[in-house]
Structure 1
Amino acid sequence: MTHSHSQATILKLFREADREFVSGARISAALGVSRTAVWKQIGQLRQLGYQIEAAPAKGYRLLQAPDVLLAAEVQNELGTACIGREVVFYSETDSTNLRVHELGKSGVAEGVVVIADAQNAGRGRMGRSWLSPPGVNLYLSVLLRPAIAPRHACHLTFLSAVAVARTVAAVGEVTPQVKWPNDILVNGRKLAGLLNELDAETDRIRYLVLGIGVNLNMAAEQFPDDLRYPATSLLLERGEPVSRQRFTRTLLRTLDELYGLYRRSGFAPIMAAWQAYFDLVGRQVEVDCQEYRLRGKVAGLGEDGALLLELADGRTERVLAGDVRPL
């Protein structure tokens, strides 16, 4: 039995016992390991922040559980059809997107989710880094294998933005906006970023990685001074922390529901849902496309998700990638 399955089994026994003691013999039998190995597993759970009482002749009981994103906690009563069928948790990794790339290349079925408590090489769009301290936020990546042409891969960016926005509204109880193409804002400050990557041939996607980073319980002093864009967290917006476990489960359920809708009904309902959070239509913006900048009025979005920009000379420019700043 793997390390994470052992933890899941022990936590399940504790949940079923409902704060009563579970004997060492019972845990030992459930895991198929010695009492000494059980003691070691209990020690590892304690290191993660679980308060577990041990009593001679009685066994162990759970007094308090921390808000950690162990697979066993995230999958508890998750009930999704595809996304989250397998969850892999790291206390720290370089980047959850890189871990999912490895799984994608090895042929793992879609729906696997990789979560890290901290990342030491978190990545944002355009090669930027994504600050990823431990214990406060959500960093996760999902492996998908949609049967769509590579040119439609951007549909999944809009899908994940809708999922994050809906989860922020439901769990965070604040009103989010989407910033084209893949940031989530609250009161004009960046709360979440998406980095979706794909591995494809000319006519088919081998796999797609949905990378999602959300600032949940980050305090003001944890943000660096040199951010290119003002950032925030749900803690700062609400004045109180949110449960990372509840947020993550809600997000995975919402992603699962929207992915099912996309496979059944295509991009139109996803785009309509995304536009409900987009408030820049009709407004003057500047778009930084790295090599050049454009100024114009947002006329809407193309069917492929391109930003339609009405320039001063009356022409409409289709923008496929860039940083948008309202003027």
Structure 2
Amino acid sequence: MKGKIIKLLKDSGNDFVSGQKISEALGVSRAAIWKHINVIKEDGYEIEAISRKGYRIISSPDILTFEEIRSYLFTECIGKNIIYYDSIGSTNSKAKELAEIGQEHGTVVISEEQTTGRGRLGRNFISPKYKGIWMSIILRPDIITENISQITLLGAAAVQSAIMKMGIKTSIKWPNDIILNSKKVCGILTEMSGEINHINYLVMGIGINVNLEEEDIPHELKDVATSIKLESGRYMERKILIANILNIFEKLYIEYVKNDNINETIEICRKNSNLIGKEIQLINRGKVTTARAIDISDKGELVIENSQGIIEYVVSGEVSVRGIYGYNK
């Protein structure tokens, strides 16, 4: 009910909507409308109410509900169903729970904060309230299991392109991190449920440090993590950034899954790579080797030249990659 009222008010623009009109449209009493309006105000909406005119929205809070994102969203499927939380342990964990009971492809779980957010290799992911983007997308792609690592590249390319669309130049640390001024601002974690030859579902978790302040970054992470606001000096509207990510991701996803074409994604990852041309460290089952990153293959593998001068192809998930210079976690 609350969402329907917000939609009616937003659709009216600057015009007032009478309580009677809302009552008739939603089939509830005007007293019930008044109660819902008060709840909406408590959520941070500034609503003007004038007798015999009705209600109109003066300003909206910076929250990531579907009602706030929908006007910027142009997808056919991805993000058309948003499940919103004020606080949650982990959006990936919740998305997996929902996927297990049949939640539809393209559903996005968003929370204003995570209390037990996770990154790769079981690391904690700091997720303070109202300052970042913490979301997970439920996907049910018809692809072979050995290609799921390419889905992570789609996510990285979408986030990279969306941030750059808003005027900030970032780079991609293959395969799943977005870097700004040599520090991490985004991590992507893709998890799968399936068998050897069949994917039941994928959950892609995306965590972005958007408007975090200095005090939000733990002391032990200050050398490796930052936020878009800290590095650019600009406050960024999270709902527009989310919509941009989902719009771009769906385009890349459809091209990949329906047309078996990952060319645009690979080109974005190559052009904005944080690793190509640099010395890197590969960590595989505790063993550390040094190599030089020379390219990203047409299949999304990291192409390296090892210490013996031999060209090798590294698949995402097989090893952990660290840059010797700058961000290295």
Q: TM > 0.5 between the two?
A: yes
Q: Which runs of 4+ in 1 moved over 6 A?
A: none
Q: Tell me the equivalent position of 1:3.
A: none
Matched-pair contact (CA < 8 Å) for 2:252–2:264: no
Matched-pair contact (CA < 8 Å) for 2:192–2:199: yes
Q: Tell me the equivalent position of 2:253.
A: 259
RMSD, matched Cα: 1.9
Alpha-carbon distance, 1:23 to partner: 1.8
Q: Tell me the equivalent position of 2:56.
A: 61
Taking a change above 3 Å as real, the CA distance of residues 229 and 207 of structure 1, as seen in their structure-2 partners, is farther
Matched-pair contact (CA < 8 Å) for 1:9–1:30: no
Taking a change above 3 Å as real, the CA distance of residues 281 and 323 of structure 1, as seen in their structure-2 partners, is closer
Q: Tell me the equivalent position of 1:104.
A: 99
Return 5+ residue gaps in structure 2 as ranges: none
After superposition, residues 25-64 of structure 1 pair within 5 angstroms as 25-64=20-59
Alpha-carbon distance, 1:77 to partner: 5.0
Alpha-carbon distance, 1:91 to partner: 0.9
Counterpart CA distance in 1 for 2:13 and 2:80 is: 26
- AA at the equivalent of 2:77: C
Is 1:272 the counterpart of 2:270? The answer is no
Partner of residue 91 from structure 1, selected from 86, 97, 100: 86
Matched-pair contact (CA < 8 Å) for 1:143–1:208: yes
Q: Which 10-residue stretch deviates more, 158-167 or 22-31? A: 22-31
Q: Tell me the equivalent position of 2:226.
A: 232
Partner of residue 241 from structure 2, selected from 235, 247, 252: 247
Counterpart CA distance in 1 for 2:12 and 2:242 is: 25
Matched-pair contact (CA < 8 Å) for 1:7–1:72: no
Matched-pair contact (CA < 8 Å) for 2:47–2:57: yes
Matched-pair contact (CA < 8 Å) for 1:100–1:142: yes
Q: Tell me the equivalent position of 2:215.
A: 221
Partner of residue 207 from structure 1, selected from 193, 201, 205: 201
- AA at the equivalent of 1:235: K
Partner of 1:226, secondary structure, is helix
Deviations 1:19-66 (A, max 9, x none): 333222222222222333322322222122101123344332212111
Counterpart CA distance in 1 for 2:180 and 2:260 is: 29
Matched-pair contact (CA < 8 Å) for 1:190–1:229: no
Counterpart CA distance in 2 for 1:17 and 1:207 is: 39
Counterpart CA distance in 2 for 1:300 and 1:79 is: 33
After superposition, residues 1-327 of structure 1 pair within 5 angstroms as 6-76=1-71, 78-171=73-166, 173-227=167-221, 230-263=224-257, 264-289=259-284, 291-319=286-314, 320-327=318-325
Q: Which 10-residue stretch deviates more, 285-294 or 106-115? A: 285-294
Q: How many residues align?
A: 321
Counterpart CA distance in 2 for 1:157 and 1:14 is: 38
Return 5+ residue gaps in structure 1 as ranges: 1-5
Matched-pair contact (CA < 8 Å) for 2:179–2:274: no
- AA at the equivalent of 2:82: V
Counterpart CA distance in 1 for 2:311 and 2:132 is: 39
Matched-pair contact (CA < 8 Å) for 1:78–1:253: yes
Q: TM-score, normalised by structure 1?
A: 0.92
Counterpart CA distance in 2 for 1:274 and 1:260 is: 18
Deviations 1:307-326 (A, max 9, x none): 33322233445443203123
Q: Which 10-residue stretch deviates more, 216-225 or 291-300? A: 291-300
Taking a change above 3 Å as real, the CA distance of residues 287 and 44 of structure 1, as seen in their structure-2 partners, is farther
Partner of 1:75, secondary structure, is helix
